[in-house]
Amino acid sequence: MPQKRSLGSLEKDFRTTWFDDLPIGVAILDKDARFAYVNQEIARLFGRSRKEILHTPADQFIPPADSARMIRELLEIYRGVQPEKMVFEFLRPNGSSEKIAFASTPIYGPQRKSGRAVRYILAVQVEL
Protein backbone atom coordinates (compact mmCIF):
# COMPACT_ATOMS: atom_id res chain seq x y z
CA MET A 1 0.00 0.00 0.00
CA PRO A 2 1.46 3.42 -0.99
CA GLN A 3 2.40 5.69 1.89
CA LYS A 4 0.32 8.88 2.23
CA ARG A 5 2.35 12.07 1.93
CA SER A 6 1.50 15.58 3.00
CA LEU A 7 0.80 18.28 0.46
CA GLY A 8 3.85 20.19 1.75
CA SER A 9 6.06 17.16 1.11
CA LEU A 10 4.70 16.76 -2.42
CA GLU A 11 5.16 20.48 -3.12
CA LYS A 12 8.76 20.35 -1.89
CA ASP A 13 9.51 17.35 -4.12
CA PHE A 14 7.94 19.15 -7.09
CA ARG A 15 10.06 22.28 -6.55
CA THR A 16 13.21 20.22 -6.03
CA THR A 17 12.61 18.15 -9.16
CA TRP A 18 11.60 20.97 -11.49
CA PHE A 19 13.19 24.18 -10.25
CA ASP A 20 16.29 23.67 -8.09
CA ASP A 21 18.81 23.12 -10.88
CA LEU A 22 17.33 25.21 -13.71
CA PRO A 23 19.79 27.53 -15.49
CA ILE A 24 17.37 30.46 -14.95
CA GLY A 25 16.35 31.78 -11.58
CA VAL A 26 12.98 30.81 -10.16
CA ALA A 27 11.43 32.25 -7.05
CA ILE A 28 8.06 32.01 -5.39
CA LEU A 29 6.84 35.10 -3.57
CA ASP A 30 4.07 35.02 -1.02
CA LYS A 31 1.27 37.59 -1.06
CA ASP A 32 3.42 39.92 1.08
CA ALA A 33 6.21 39.87 -1.55
CA ARG A 34 8.52 37.77 0.65
CA PHE A 35 10.55 34.99 -0.91
CA ALA A 36 8.87 31.66 -0.05
CA TYR A 37 11.18 29.66 -2.35
CA VAL A 38 14.31 30.41 -4.41
CA ASN A 39 16.37 28.10 -6.55
CA GLN A 40 20.16 28.06 -6.68
CA GLU A 41 20.33 30.39 -9.71
CA ILE A 42 18.47 33.14 -7.83
CA ALA A 43 20.97 32.80 -5.00
CA ARG A 44 23.84 33.07 -7.50
CA LEU A 45 22.34 36.14 -9.23
CA PHE A 46 21.77 37.85 -5.89
CA GLY A 47 25.22 36.87 -4.59
CA ARG A 48 23.68 35.38 -1.44
CA SER A 49 22.79 32.00 -0.01
CA ARG A 50 19.27 30.65 -0.41
CA LYS A 51 18.90 30.82 3.37
CA GLU A 52 19.70 34.56 3.36
CA ILE A 53 16.99 35.23 0.76
CA LEU A 54 14.14 33.07 2.08
CA HIS A 55 11.36 34.87 3.98
CA THR A 56 12.91 38.26 3.16
CA PRO A 57 10.84 40.96 1.42
CA ALA A 58 11.89 41.25 -2.23
CA ASP A 59 12.29 45.03 -2.01
CA GLN A 60 15.11 44.68 0.54
CA PHE A 61 17.41 43.62 -2.29
CA ILE A 62 16.85 46.65 -4.53
CA PRO A 63 17.85 50.32 -4.23
CA PRO A 64 15.34 52.38 -2.23
CA ALA A 65 14.49 54.47 -5.31
CA ASP A 66 13.03 51.34 -7.01
CA SER A 67 11.28 49.94 -3.93
CA ALA A 68 7.93 51.70 -4.39
CA ARG A 69 7.81 50.77 -8.08
CA MET A 70 8.55 47.12 -7.30
CA ILE A 71 5.82 46.90 -4.67
CA ARG A 72 3.36 48.68 -7.01
CA GLU A 73 4.10 46.25 -9.86
CA LEU A 74 3.90 43.20 -7.60
CA LEU A 75 0.52 44.39 -6.30
CA GLU A 76 -0.66 44.80 -9.91
CA ILE A 77 0.35 41.20 -10.62
CA TYR A 78 -1.49 40.12 -7.49
CA ARG A 79 -4.61 41.82 -8.88
CA GLY A 80 -4.20 39.99 -12.20
CA VAL A 81 -2.58 42.77 -14.25
CA GLN A 82 0.67 41.72 -15.92
CA PRO A 83 3.18 44.58 -16.39
CA GLU A 84 4.77 44.69 -19.83
CA LYS A 85 8.29 44.36 -18.47
CA MET A 86 9.72 44.37 -14.97
CA VAL A 87 13.41 45.20 -14.68
CA PHE A 88 15.01 45.98 -11.35
CA GLU A 89 18.53 46.55 -10.17
CA PHE A 90 19.39 44.10 -7.39
CA LEU A 91 22.10 44.88 -4.87
CA ARG A 92 24.70 42.30 -3.94
CA PRO A 93 26.38 42.16 -0.51
CA ASN A 94 29.70 43.36 -1.98
CA GLY A 95 28.07 46.60 -3.21
CA SER A 96 27.85 45.63 -6.87
CA SER A 97 24.49 45.42 -8.59
CA GLU A 98 22.85 43.39 -11.35
CA LYS A 99 19.94 44.33 -13.63
CA ILE A 100 17.44 41.50 -13.62
CA ALA A 101 14.36 41.11 -15.80
CA PHE A 102 11.30 39.38 -14.34
CA ALA A 103 8.42 37.51 -15.88
CA SER A 104 5.65 36.20 -13.68
CA THR A 105 2.92 33.62 -13.58
CA PRO A 106 0.26 33.53 -10.88
CA ILE A 107 -0.22 30.31 -8.91
CA TYR A 108 -3.74 29.88 -7.60
CA GLY A 109 -4.44 28.08 -4.36
CA PRO A 110 -7.67 26.46 -3.24
CA GLN A 111 -9.18 29.89 -2.52
CA ARG A 112 -9.31 30.81 -6.21
CA LYS A 113 -12.93 31.91 -5.81
CA SER A 114 -11.69 35.47 -5.34
CA GLY A 115 -9.63 35.22 -8.54
CA ARG A 116 -6.52 36.38 -6.71
CA ALA A 117 -3.24 34.55 -6.97
CA VAL A 118 -1.72 33.26 -3.77
CA ARG A 119 1.90 33.23 -4.97
CA TYR A 120 3.91 33.88 -8.09
CA ILE A 121 6.74 32.16 -9.86
CA LEU A 122 9.20 34.70 -11.14
CA ALA A 123 11.66 33.62 -13.80
CA VAL A 124 14.73 35.80 -13.50
CA GLN A 125 17.49 36.44 -16.00
CA VAL A 126 20.22 39.00 -16.20
CA GLU A 127 19.10 41.61 -18.72
CA LEU A 128 21.46 41.91 -21.67
Residue 120 lies in domain = 22-126
Averaged pLDDT for residues 28-46: 86
| Structural domain count, the chain | 1
Q: What is the mean pLDDT of residues 8-18?
A: 66
What is the distance, to the nearest Å, from the Cα of residue 102 to the centroid of all Cα atoms in its chain?
9
Provide, rounded to the nearest whole percent, the portion of the chain with pLDDT above 90.
Answer: 8
Any domain includes 26 = yes
Residue 55 forms part of a structural domain = yes
Is the pLDDT assigned to residue 71 strictly greater than 70? yes
* Residue 44 included in any domain: yes
Sign of CA dihedral 89, 43, 108, 71: negative
pTM listed for this prediction: 0.71
CA pair distance 58, 90, nearest whole angstrom: 10
Is 10 a member of any domain? no
Q: Kindly state whether residue 31 falls inside one of the protein's structural domains.
A: yes
